[in-house]
Amino acid sequence: MSVKVPDPQVLLDLFGICDETLAKMLLVQSLGACCGKDGTSTDQARDFMLAMIWQMAPRDAVERMLAVQMAATHAGLMSISNKLNSVDSLHKHETYKRSFNRLARTFTAQAEALRKHRNGGQSKVIVEHVTVNEGDQAIVGQVLKS
């Protein structure tokens, strides 16, 4: 695959690491999802993938890998979407639709995995409005079922 590598410092900052070889490999892996049939990547595709990863701001190894996977999944999803809009047979339509649905579910699972990883697996619920009728009682705090 032919890849124009941006300034090494840009890659190091993007992935939040100090290993230039690892940063280049993460770039190559992410671009693999948006290459043409001849194995080349356009500057536009490269910049898009880098921007997607930059926006996710990975903070550790797990987040770096998830960011690359999510960018690749999204690129694949959009590629299948384009193909789905121009099919000429029912068989191709069904095949692309199935692939689209799988990639969409995969992306959702990846986003949830990233959210859980960042929150330490904890969910937070914020209650903004509570009504307590006269004679009723409200409990504020943690309620445990036994």
**Would you place residue 41 in the very low, low, confident or very high pLDDT band (cuts 50, 70, 90)?**
low
Q: Where are the domains of the chain?
A: 8-118
Contacts of 113 (CB under 8 A, 6+ apart): 66
The gap from C-alpha 136 to its chain's centroid, in whole angstroms, comes to: 46
Q: How far apart are CA 66 and CA 114, in angstroms?
A: 7
pTM: 0.72
100-140 confidence digits (pLDDT tens) = 999 999 999 999 999 999 998 776 777 777 788 888 877 77
8-21 confidence digits (pLDDT tens) = 888 888 888 889 88
C-beta of residue 69 within 8 angstroms of C-beta of residue 30? no
C-beta of residue 58 within 8 angstroms of C-beta of residue 15? yes
